Structure 1
Amino acid sequence: MTSPWVLILLVVLLSSEVPAARILSLMTFPGKSHYINIQPIMQELALRGHDVTVVTANVEKNPLPNYHQIVVDNRTFWDSFGENLDKFAFENMAFWKELPLVWNGAYFTTEVAFNSSSLQELLRNDKSHFDLIIMELFFQEAFYMFAHKYKAPVVAISTMGFHQYIGDFMGSPLQLAYMPHEFLRSRGRLGLLDRLQNLYYTVYDLIGRRLVMLPRHEKLVDKHFEFPETRPSIYELQRKVSLVLLNTHFSIDTVRPQVPGIVEIGGVHIKKPKPLPQNLQNFIDESKDGVIFFSMGSNLNSKDMPKEKLDMFLNTFKKLKQRVLWKWENENLPGQPSNVMISKWLPQTDILAHPNVKIFITHGGLLSTIEAIHFGKPIIGIPVYGDQHLNTARAQSMGIGVKLAFSSLTEAKVYESIREILDNPTYSNTAKELSDRFRDRPQTPMETAVYWIEYVIRHKGAQFMKSPLLQLEWYEAFMLDVVLVIFALLALPVLLVKKLIKSNKKKGTVAGKHNGKPNKNKRD
């Protein structure tokens, strides 16, 4: 019997205007939320007839026949890595400690991927060929060397939206007066202290990346790649990236000046809502006062919260008329109130699409924030690390939510925040308005992503989209040579006038001395 996948592919291939390409996708970071954001794009490319090979730590069940998986060992590594960390303690970690921790985690996952026998087999296969490299933009820079190995252009996907260093290698201007670093905890108009902190974060990030992180990845490249010729540096390859796809959109983010090679696809992972399992459907439908959805995402587990925080949530939920749907990672929840339903896994987007869901209590991860905005749900954001602080501050500044600090959470604060959103329709109305403008686009996020990826394929890397800024030396980019010339032109007349004045004074002094001498020829 002919597989339905084969029939679908046949129809797509016959109708496609773009020749099928061989695509290598490197998304080895094991974080589930990262995978959820990128995998649908790979699936869509395969549906359009491209031959897609995905190097991943997350296995896709029943893939298309032209969707191949190279599974690396990162899932096991990441799970054991996470067991040794108290992630809720990250909330007040200093930036200069938190960012290197992220760098190290990403580096170790890159190293584990390279050491996997499956990826080693690909590296040793000299007959393999790819027309395009698609990789996640998450501190795994050694993977850029695949672009040199296969002489293929690169499309990078940033699951965390805009990073300041994207502007550095794409030639897009950085305006630090209003463009916040992704780890900055302020939103809206940046005050003086915010701008000073933003400058510090950005400079620390850019210099640390060049002087600390990239050299480690260079050593990883030397260990695993062999080239007959002198290879380019990772930084050189990064500056040749053809396209960066950002998981954000200007309607909900800081408006930035961007070069054509930076394209926003925020919401690309969101699919048409599916029917809920019957038990969930009944639980939400039958709540006459509405439902509050509580989830701390895929990397933070509610079960790992300190007991005093857990008790605080339980006591708060007992007071509510609303039902609470809680992503809880254990079989049982001691002290579970009668209005609370727990589950280890919940279909988040399908739940948020339900009109009876009134509030989303979230950690503020970018995917969760985007999903809440897409479906017009107000949020209570409880950030812990990374960009969660900025995302929840952004939601609060846009008027669709309240930001609470995990370390200072109290029963009163949570209850008052819930009542504030339930009793004040402004939050819900603003969330719906924001949803309308977020969805209002000439193409869907998926159509936009696929169009520009295929654009890069059609135009063999589309290097003509690159900013001329990347061809300049650093002193030319900052116009320091021009400033020096202008300074010289302004200073030269001043110096000449000063010299002339000094010369005239000297002549006057000499003349004065000469005129003041007695005339020896004069008679009495």
Structure 2
Amino acid sequence: MKTYVFLMLTYVATTTEGANILITFEAPRRSHQIWISNVVEQLLERKHNVTMAIPFPDTLARIKAKVRESIDEVTAEHENYTSIALEGIITYHKHFDQRQLIHSGLVGSLKTSHRYNYDICDRVYRSKGFQRLWSYPDSFKFDLIIVDVSLGQCLYPLIKKFGGAQVVGFSPSSLNPYLSSVFGSDDQSAYIPSRHLRDVDLRFFFDRLLNYLTNKFEYVFKQNWELKSIENLAEKHLQEEFNFEELQRSVSLLLVNYNPLLNRAQLLPPNIVPVAGLHLKRPEELPSVLAMILNKAFLGVVFVSLGTDIQPEILCHADTKTIANALGRLVQKTVIWKNRTINTDLPENIVVHAWMPQNELLAHANTKLLITTGGLLSIQEAIVHGIPVIGLPITEDHRENMKIITENKLGLQLDVTNLTEDLIYDSVTTVLNNPVFKDNMDTFSLKFKAQLENPVVKAVRWIEYLLRYNDTSFLSPSTRYVSSFSAKSFDVELFIFVVLLFAIFSIARACLSCLKLIYRYRNRTQVKVKSQ
């Protein structure tokens, strides 16, 4: 008992000392901000000194307001909080044509993604926010850097800049084969389908072969081409040499939005920590006007939200009108549509607003259906609140997330390139009127919520573990530090193959020699017999 009390006192003493923590990401995506916000709140409450360098400075005040009592207090920088805006990134994102993501295959998707990442990194290095960080004196130290690793690698130079800091990576997206391989996981092409392939059945050999080649191509492209090109870009802007591959290996821990219930079971090394649902929180009170609308919608509400990261313009005017007309036929249902650019006449049962508190809307008892692109955070919120889903996936990640929905009969998926009024109406009424979807979602919700540990508590516990002991290298498998050729034992298998081939060749040659001897002996015997 005394030992237990001593350990508890030691833990409290070590965690109450404020550490200098840098949290940064370059992705101009609100979902990444939302996903990490609960961790930020907890670190601030535990008196750590947090610096956030992200593209969304306006959101920081709202995060901090939940820690501080007054919104007025958050307008100034406090002793344990600093915000740095990486400006210019959001403007580029708004003008990027996301429609090219709909039809792109493997090569097109990787090329588009690389061009997008490269341009984002170029704007990061030019931003005043990044230059502010880069100009910090050499004597300034961060104890820990928490960096988003799901999009690109342009923030890796900060790992070298603050070389004494431990580094934790995070990914609000599901765990894909590439990211899994980067952190030392074994090749899982035999049972985890690539997000770039559609309708692949890994029970069949040629599908597994295609899946294997696709994953290898993506890995080689990203590690040998994209990583090097952004490294060259950083050297050009910052006038300093970098080894991005080495900096990548210095990210000792990965917090990832993974749950086997949603993302297929797979083998994970101990340096990959699953914290699915990190953004989830208890619903707050709805705004009064919105609460009045939902409370009066006794026959149910259909909520339409295309997520925080997809441009509303990705749907053309005709598609928007088609969706509106189909939902307008649900005269007994109230439709709430989050959209800031819609400019068509709408049926009377549709309410449109630029922003909606999604978590609170889905938690309301009268909400019956979510129509979404299939972003993982929205899917998780729908599951927690037991709301069936209709998906209009845009990207590979969306399509992969929607596979879980359709395979488990939690909702339906539509093709965004082939929308008709009747198809949308029939799909919505099918999900609303067939109790199988709601019953399956309720069961799924119970399984998802029955996690052994709160994901926020788990993430903060690992962060503070790293701060206390300054080392998690023992969690990384040695496969991170050797070539994939050696890590997968291809060299051993090739050696065995060559040995077997040589043995087979030797045995075959010996047998052939024996046959020749036998043939010669028989010929000689026959000649002797004939001569007699």
- Tell me the TM-score normalized by structure 2: 0.85
Shift of 1:121: 2.8
Distance 1:511 1:390 in 2: 68
Q: Secondary structure at the match of 1:109?
A: helix
Q: Does 1:215 align with 2:213?
A: no
Shift of 1:224: 4.6
Q: Secondary structure at the match of 1:155?
A: strand
Show the counterpart of 1:114: 125
Q: Secondary structure at the match of 1:141?
A: coil
**Paired residues of 2:337 and 2:352 also in contact (CA < 8 A):** yes
Amino acid in the other structure paired with 2:328: K
Show the counterpart of 1:148: 160
How many corresponding residue pairs? 498
Change (3 A) 1:37 1:363: same
Amino acid in the other structure paired with 1:353: A
Change (3 A) 1:378 1:16: farther
Distance 2:206 2:356 in 1: 40
Q: Secondary structure at the match of 1:242?
A: strand
Show the counterpart of 1:260: 270
Shift of 1:28: 2.2
Shift of 1:457: 2.1
Q: Secondary structure at the match of 1:412?
A: helix
Shift of 1:16: 5.9
Q: Which has the larger radius of gyration?
A: 1
Shift of 1:492: 4.3
Show the counterpart of 1:204: 217
Show the counterpart of 1:477: 487
Shift of 1:406: 0.9
**Paired residues of 1:267 and 1:374 also in contact (CA < 8 A):** no
Distance 1:390 1:326 in 2: 24
Deviations 1:276-295 (A, max 9, x none): 01111111111121100001
Show the counterpart of 2:423: 413
Q: Secondary structure at the match of 1:157?
A: strand
Q: Does 1:93 align with 2:104?
A: yes
Q: Does 1:180 align with 2:190?
A: no
Shift of 1:512: 9.6
Show the counterpart of 2:34: 36
Distance 1:481 1:396 in 2: 41
Shift of 1:164: 1.5
Identity %: 28
Q: Give the stretch that moved more between structures: 404-413 or 118-127.
A: 118-127
Distance 1:372 1:315 in 2: 24
Amino acid in the other structure paired with 1:267: G
Amino acid in the other structure paired with 2:214: Y
Distance 1:84 1:224 in 2: 23
Which structure 2 residues correspond to residues 237-316 of structure 1 after superposition, within 5 A? 237-302=247-312, 305-316=315-326
Distance 2:378 2:41 in 1: 21
2:82 to 68, 82, 86: 68
Q: Secondary structure at the match of 1:324?
A: strand
Deviations 1:280-320 (A, max 9, x none): 11111111211000011123344552222122122212211
Change (3 A) 1:148 1:468: same
**Paired residues of 1:248 and 1:264 also in contact (CA < 8 A):** yes
Q: Does 1:358 align with 2:368?
A: yes
Q: Give the stretch that moved more between structures: 391-400 or 500-509.
A: 500-509
Q: Secondary structure at the match of 2:21?
A: strand
Q: Give the stretch that moved more between structures: 64-73 or 269-278.
A: 64-73
Distance 2:338 2:298 in 1: 21
Show the counterpart of 1:7: none
Amino acid in the other structure paired with 1:387: D
The runs of 5 or more residues in structure 2 that have no matched partner are 1-10, 62-73
Shift of 1:380: 0.4
1:17 to 15, 18, 36: 15
**Paired residues of 2:197 and 2:211 also in contact (CA < 8 A):** yes
Amino acid in the other structure paired with 1:176: S
Q: Does 1:486 align with 2:496?
A: yes
Show the counterpart of 1:9: none
Q: Secondary structure at the match of 1:406?
A: coil
Considering only aligned residues, what root-mean-square deviation do their CA atoms show, in Å? 3.0
Distance 1:187 1:369 in 2: 22
